[in-house]
Structure formats: C-alpha cells, structure tokens
Amino acid sequence: MNKLKLNSFIASSALLLGSLSALPVHAEDEAQLIKQGEYLSRLGDCMACHSLPGKPDYAGGLAITSNIGTIFSTNITPDKQHGIGNYSEQQFADAVRKGILPDGSRLYPAMPYPDYARISDADIHALYVYFMKGVQPSAEQPPETDLSFPFSQRWGMRFWNWAFASDKPFRPIGGASAEVNRGAYIVESLGHCGSCHTPRGLGMNEKALDSGDEQFLAGGSLNHWAVPSLRGLPHWSQQEIVDYLQTGRNDKAAVGGEMTSVIEHSSSHMTDADLNAIAAYLKFLGGNPPLQAYNVQAQQATEAKLTAAKNLSEGERLYLDNCGACHFVTGKGAPGVFPELDQATIVNASDPTGLIHTILAGAQQPSVAKAPSKLAMPGFAGRLSDDEVAQLATFIRQGWSNSAPAVSKDQVAEVRKTLK
C-alpha cells in the first residue's frame, strides 16, 4: 500500500473524523480504558495472528495460508510509518468491523472482520485507546501479501463483502438471561468462534454469523481437522466447558489442533464470569443431536476383551501395547491427566484426521496460568506403519461405546505427508 498517499488521505479526512477521537479524556479514565482494551484484545485474540514469537507484540508478519494463497498479518502497533499510528478511531473501527482500510481498499477475510462486525462501539473505543496508547510502537515491516490474479485485486473483496459480510450490530437474544447474552456477544463478536466452528460455504464464507441460524457453530473443518459443533455440547456440563476453555483440559478431554492456541492466547486469560457466560450460552443454544449415550454393555465388552488379552484383533493388540498404559483398558484415562477416549469428540468425528494426527504426532497441552504443567502424549509416527495406525484407529472408533466408520491406511498416509 502506498503509505504516502495514505497519509495525505488521513490528513484531509482528519478534520471530518477528528471529532470521534479528539474527545478529552482524564488520565485515570485513560488508564482504565487501556486496561479494558488490553482485556478485550485477549477476548479477540488479536495476538494470535498479529504477533510472532521472538518479535515485538502486534508487529505482524504471521503467514496465514488460505485456499487463495498466503496472506501476511500486518503491524498493528501505533508506529506511524509501519503500523496503524495514523488511524483515527473511525478508521480503526472500519478496519476491524468492516475490513475497510483508510484508502478505501479491502482486507481479506483472513482477518475475521465478518465476526468483529458485532463488536460494540464502547469496546471498539477501548480497543482503540489500548492500541494507540498501551502498545509499544514497532518499526517491524511484515512481508507484503502478494496473491496471484484475480485475488491480488483487493477491489474484488468489495463483492465478497457485499455477498457475505454483514454489518448488523449484535442483537441480544430475546428472553435469554443477561449471562447468556454476554456469552452470545463474546462468541459472536470478539471471540470469532464461528470463524472455525461454523461450516463454510462455497465462497469460503461462514454460513451463519449469529445465534438466529442453526448453522451457526454447527461444526466445520480446518485443514481437514474436524472442528466440533458447539451447539449445546450435550456431553459436557457447564463446568466442564469452563475448565476446558480455561486450562485446555477437563475431566474428559484434552485440547488439540488449532484450539490449543485459542486457549493459550485467549480463553485462558478470560475472567471466570466471561467463561461462565460463554458456557451458559453454548448450553443454551442446544439444537444438536446428543452423541450416542454411553453404552454400558459395549463398554464392558471391550474392557473384558482387553483385560483377558485373548484372540485380540490387530487393533486391540496395538492399543494394549501402545496406549493402554495411559488411557487404560476402560478407555476412560484418568480425569484431568489422560483424556477419555470413550465418546470423545475427536475420536468419533466423521473426519478422522484429528485422531490420526494425534496418534502420529502426539499432543501437548498448552501451559496456562491455572494449569501450568505441560502434559504430553508421545507421537507414534516412527513406531507404527500406516496400516497399523489404521487398524488401531478403527478399533478406537468402534471400541467401548464409540461407533464411527473405519479408517483406511490411505487416510493415514495422507495425514503422515502433512507432518513436519
């Protein structure tokens, strides 16, 4: 982008827009706003995309691969030349909520502005004050995004926005409690949970952007990794949802895949009140067929067969040799330490990529304030062949009360190719 042109544009529009950002603020109000804005940036997880390890916070440069090419996040520190130091509050609001830059060009939706469209004016104000006054300016210059034609044409995004984005503000759910509505607000706007948890349409658009639509949060897929539905979460209590978002684990499951970063940078920093609001809202949504309930007979049959260790199938034998020490013959693991495999979302997902990836590469929980230990599961890529992983995964998906389709060795080979 031509910064010179951009600056003169800002100079000429500053008079028009100045009234928004030039409100006089008292020092203590400002300190309060900065703190609030910092918290809101955690809710919005701005850090995850706009920061790189070892570089100054918010200096940008993260490469985001999309189906149209690699898009680099930008420097959003208040540096006047390399960052957003010249943005007025109105320009900041338009970039974050509408994906419109000060020169009128459009951002790619790798920046989740279709969700951020619902951020309230008050929250935008606090975010603006934080990014202008609470963040250190950095002269870091991230690489330019250079997509091939036709996606290099940013004006094309105008039509995308027209077709798919929405500029409707957040609308509270009538009749729901204040807590549920606080959760709805976070999830629909700053939390941008739908950017991964809502299925995508033909234009890579999220098929729904708010609670009024049954497709909202109905589950999707990210680089083939199944992203579960969040509607109702019938297999978890409200407290189990809170624990998972706060620490990356609860008494049944442990986080994996892209959700690990969401927990590390965003939800583990949320207040108890906000975590409870999110959980209450997800419970309130409902509308999701519950997973098949635990099947006690099937559970006991698998447990008895593994315990007797006679006439085992290849999958059962591989499980006893490699997994049983931690996840046990019951498939129940140990609460808070080894996750449960019976009825686990990742095990029963229709796309088994996440399960295969976990077996091959292992898994590590994020280290967060409330649960600092980093528990790890070793990877088995070096020890098990594609065929063995397929037989093992098939057993797990059909053992105990699980019932999901078999896994083929070709599916394993595909996932193995993606490992670093």
What is the closest distance, in whole angstroms, from the C-beta atom of residue 213 to ligand HEC in the complex? 17
CB 133 within 8 A of CB 34: yes
Tokens of 89: 């509050």
Work out whether 37 is an interface residue with ligand HEC (CB under 6 A): no
Which has the closest alpha carbon to 400: 260, 295, 290?
295
Residues 396-415 that bind ligand HEC (CB under 6 A): 396
Rg (CA), the chain: 24
Binding segment (CB under 6 A) for ligand HEC, from list 185-193, 198-206, 297-305, 307-315:
185-193
Residues 267-326 that bind ligand HEC (CB under 6 A): 267, 278, 322-323, 325-326
Residues 188-247 that bind ligand HEC (CB under 6 A): 191-193, 195-197, 222, 225, 227-228, 230, 233, 241, 244
Choose between 147 and 301: whose C-beta lies nearer to ligand HEC: 147
Work out whether 257 is an interface residue with ligand HEC (CB under 6 A): yes
What is the closest distance, in whole angstroms, from the C-beta atom of residue 18 to ligand HEC in the complex? 19
For the chain, report the end-to-end CA distance as a whole number of angstroms: 34
CB 114 within 8 A of CB 204: no
What is the closest distance, in whole angstroms, from the C-beta atom of residue 311 to ligand HEC in the complex? 21
CB 232 within 8 A of CB 286: yes
Distance CA 259, CA 92 (A): 27
Choose between 88 and 345: whose C-beta lies nearer to ligand HEC: 345
Contact residues for 174 (Cβ-Cβ < 8 A; gap 6+): none
Among 33, 45, 210, 268, binds ligand HEC (CB under 6 A): 45
Choose between 85 and 414: whose C-beta lies nearer to ligand HEC: 85
Residue window 115-134: x/- pattern of binding to ligand HEC, with contact defined by CB under 6 A: ------------x-------
Distance CA 347, CA 342 (A): 8
What is the closest distance, in whole angstroms, from the C-beta atom of residue 395 to ligand HEC in the complex? 9
Residues 52-111 that bind ligand HEC (CB under 6 A): 64, 71, 73-74, 76, 84, 95-96, 101, 107-108, 110-111
Tokens of 150: 């036709």
Choose between 338 and 400: whose C-beta lies nearer to ligand HEC: 338
Binding segment (CB under 6 A) for ligand HEC, from list 38-46, 160-168, 170-178, 199-207:
38-46
231-260 b/e (C-beta count within 10 Å ≥ 16 → b) = bbbebbeeebbbbbbbbbbbbbbbbbbebb
Distance CA 56, CA 7 (A): 24
What is the closest distance, in whole angstroms, from the C-beta atom of residue 191 to ligand HEC in the complex? 3
For ligand HEC, how many residues bind (rule: CB under 6 A)?
Answer: 73
Choose between 2 and 28: whose C-beta lies nearer to ligand HEC: 2
Work out whether 359 is an interface residue with ligand HEC (CB under 6 A): yes
Among 344, 360, 390, 407, binds ligand HEC (CB under 6 A): 344
Distance CA 342, CA 374 (A): 23
CB 74 within 8 A of CB 108: no
What is the closest distance, in whole angstroms, from the C-beta atom of residue 186 to ligand HEC in the complex? 7
Using alpha carbons, list the distances in angstroms from residue 109 to 91, 218, 227, 294, 308.
17, 20, 19, 40, 54
What is the closest distance, in whole angstroms, from the C-beta atom of residue 175 to ligand HEC in the complex? 22
Using alpha carbons, list the distances in angstroms from residue 50 to 58, 210, 298.
5, 25, 48
Tokens 């920046």 label which residue?
A: 111
Q: CB atoms < 10 A from the CB of 273, how many?
A: 9
Among 118, 327, 332, 397, binds ligand HEC (CB under 6 A): 327
Residues 379-398 that bind ligand HEC (CB under 6 A): 380, 392, 396
Distance CA 230, CA 34 (A): 32
Choose between 73 and 246: whose C-beta lies nearer to ligand HEC: 73
What is the closest distance, in whole angstroms, from the C-beta atom of residue 297 to ligand HEC in the complex? 23
